[in-house]
Structure 1
Amino acid sequence: MSTTTAPPLLDVRRIYAEPAALASPRGQQVVGRWPGAELVEVASHWQIPELHGDEANVRRWVRIKREALVLGVLKSLRARPNGRSADFIAPSTSNGCAMACAYCYVPRHKGYSNPVTVFTNIEQITGYLARHVRRQGPKTEPNQCDPTAWVYDLGENSDCSVDALISDNVADLVATFRGLPDAKASFATKYVNRDLLTWDPQGRTRVRFSLMPEATAKLLDIRTSPVAERLAAIDDFVEAGYEVHVNFSPVVVEDGWLARWADLLDALGDATSEATKAQLACEVIFLTHNEQLHEVNLGWHPKAEDLLWQPAIQEPKRSQNGAVNVRYAWRDKQRHVEQLLALIAERAPWCTVRYAF
């Protein structure tokens, strides 16, 4: 009886590198992990025609994510105010992702496949963050982000659990926040990387496991850890010293969607201990899709668009950067939000809802 093995998440064959990034200790660490990879010097991580902005790349979408890696230097260090999931969005230590979720907004930034770019000036980034936290002083008023700590989102344009397979950037960030009593790091993830269990975060890093019903995830969450594996990891991360929350995201409206979410909430309850439930909270985020991404997806994963692109129940919304997004029609969405919140209150009353939209 033969068995098939899934291809590795990363099998790096070519590394595109800005010279300064390649010469840095962190750049050399990354190159050392894939010593057989071809090195290609580039002037800017933003301008690599064979990776970014070429429609032909749609045919090679997943292969590029698995085989290509980019090294760059982050030149603009800024912590942007947020106020929803976190108080601030931290400067990125990476951009792009090796996974390929069909609804992800990250590919819109660089176009098409958008493999991982690692920013190698990690000492500058962690130093900036430490200074920024100290300038805030103690948090004196609780908010939806956290009652006592300033929360910094680390992975706005990436998945930190995957980034940790590539370099020590995320480990360095966790270590930095371990020493900042007024602040807490936070990142959402769809990938279970058990190496993180050895990092001793001492409660100063919040991991948010993104969840959706298993059948929906099999269609939309491409190259991610199965939902059952994410559920099974939650208690272990709490025991390892992380604060663990969950993201119910994105919530996709489809036939039988509430029944599927009821099953997921029951599974979450079965998978978690009382200690985990006592600290658990969630964010609820309904699907927002993008016209350009819809067109890209039709070239490599059209079945996903049967679920994501539903003009009969969606309405356009133009974003601040001019992109045309679609979301569920406002009145219907309000009803759906109320339905899901009522379901959470019924099936998982121990799970605090931090916000829902």
Structure 2
Amino acid sequence: MDIRFDTVYYEPNALDYELGQMLRSKYANLPWMEIENHNRIPELTAADNRDFPKLKRHLIVGVRKTHRYVPNHKVSDWLVPYTSSGCPAMCLYCYLVCNYNKCAYLRLFVNREQMLDRLLKKDAQAVVPQTFEIGSNSDLLVENAITDNLHITIERFAREGRGSLTFPSKFDMVEPLLALDHRGKTIFRMSMNPEEIIQRIELGTSTLRARIRALNDVAEAGYRVGLLIAPVILLSDWKKLYGELIEQLADELSEKVRQNGFIEIILMTYSFVQNAINTDAFPNAIRLFNQETMTGRGRGKYCYRNDVRAEVESFLRKEISQQLPAMPILYIS
């Protein structure tokens, strides 16, 4: 994937780190704009909603200062603030927009050794081995194409860690990971959606067929694997779309994935903030808010009604049990 940026915004002390210097050299042909804090760039925060795609072409380089781990009870035990946040893709439902608004662009944090040291210390102190979700704030395959951070993280954790790392992706750039010495301590999860949704809603991400191929390759390389059907988006013909998706997964996933992988299912949550940005930045896009099927969920957020969710869950469980019977569904949320 060719990841291009227009401008780099950077905190000066980021250049005190090896990764900061590498990025300075890698993007030496771009304008570098000095900032005080990666969380507060007034000229970007003040941009109009319609400028959202332009903002996604900025790269922000800084030092991560927040390191609070959040307990999690799904695939991982902990959500870990790690080496990036945001993403250059433009999925119209992206939950990071709720946190960062228009400023959901890619931020790279150069103090990777500090973050990995902290993670390994947490792992060593645990009574039982823990699983750490390191990709909840970004897509680490995209980041790795720029920084090679996954090479460093996966192999060092394989040598020194007791538990597991995990991260999801919507991209197919897995080739650099296949020869790494991961020792089975990394769980790779691929997000899947019908191709129509990928093309019209998950803008800038890899195709469904490329994602399936990448997941097969990672499983063949000995990684533990799972797939997310996420987020489930209820277009008018959603049963047809998701029925065909599950059929394609059954046909194209490798035997290793089908026999050893697991499934997570997450229904879409949407927000007033996302709707406002999408209306201005993508006026011809599919409208994701549906008043007939959605209801309020906290301040400014919407989710599918309970009766609708029950219908979706029943449908997906039936289809998966028939097409992918060996893959357990860990949860539906």
Distance apart, 1:172 and its partner CA: 1.9
SS in 2 for 1:43: coil
Answer yes or no: is the 8 Å Cα contact 1:297–1:305 preserved in 2: no
CA distance in 2, matches of 1:199, 1:63: 35
Could you say which residue in structure 2 is the equivalent of 1:54? 46
Opposite residue 266 of structure 1, the aligned amino acid is: E
**Corresponding residue number in structure 2 for 1:292:** 273
Q: 1:183 aligns with which of 149, 163, 168?
A: 163
What does the per-residue CA deviation read over 1:100-148, in whole Å, with 9 as the maximum and x for residues that have no partner?
1000011222221421111111111000000000111334xxxxxxxxx
Among 252, 257, 265, which residue is 1:276 paired with?
257
Q: Quote the residue 1:165 is aligned against.
A: 145
Q: How far has the Cα of 1:275 moved from its partner?
A: 2.0
Within 2, Cα distance between the matches of 1:331 and 1:98?
A: 35
Q: What residue number does 2:34 align with? A: 41
Which of structure 1's runs of 4+ aligned residues deviate more than 3 A?
A: 302-305
How big is each residue's C-alpha offset from its partner over 1:272-305, in whole Å with a ceiling of 9 and x where there is no partner? 2222222110100011101111011001223444
Map Cα deviations across residues 290-326 of structure 1 (whole Å, 9 max, x no partner): 11110110012234442x11011100011xxxx4110
Give, in angstroms, the shift of residue 338 of structure 1: 1.7
Deviation (angstroms), 1:157: 1.1
- For residue 350 of structure 1, what is the aligned residue in structure 2? 326
Alpha-carbon distance, 1:196 to partner = 2.3
From 308, 313, 332, the equivalent of 1:337 is 313
Distance change >3 Å, CA 13–CA 239, structure 1 → 2: same
Contact 2:55 2:102 in 1 (8 A): no
Matched, 1:120 2:110: yes
**Superposed counterparts of 1:37-116, under 5 Å:** 37-51=30-44, 53-56=45-48, 58-66=49-57, 68-116=58-106
| Contact 1:137-1:182 at 8 Å conserved across structures | no
Which residue identity is paired with 1:70? I
2:22 to 17, 29, 39: 29
Tell me the distance in 1 between the aligned counterparts of 2:81 and 2:153: 11
Q: Deviations over 1:3-61 (max 9, x none)?
A: xxxxx75222321111111221111111222120111111100011222x2242x3332
The aligned residue for residue 145 of structure 1 is none
Deviates more, 1:215-224 or 1:83-92: 83-92
Identity of aligned pairs, percent?
A: 27
Equivalent residues of 1:79, 1:91 under 8 A apart: yes
CA distance in 2, matches of 1:70, 1:244: 31
Q: Contact 1:200–1:241 at 8 Å: present in 2 too?
A: no
Look up the SS of the partner of 2:227 in the other structure.
strand
Structure 2: state its 5+ residue gaps: none
Query: Structure 1: how far apart are the matches of 2:51 and 2:11?
Result: 23
**In 2, Cα distance between the equivalents of 1:13 and 1:300?**
18
Q: What aligned pairs does 1:10-21 form with structure 2 within 5 A after superposition? A: 10-21=3-14
TM-score, normalisation: structure 1? 0.88
Q: How many residues align?
A: 332
Distance 1:90 1:113 in 2: 20
Secondary structure in structure 2 of the residue aligned to 1:185? strand
Q: TM-score, normalised by structure 2?
A: 0.95
State the distance in 1 between where 2:3 and 2:250 align: 32
CA distance in 2, matches of 1:258, 1:107: 28
- Cα distance 1:113–1:10, how it changes in 2: closer, same or farther (>3 A)? farther
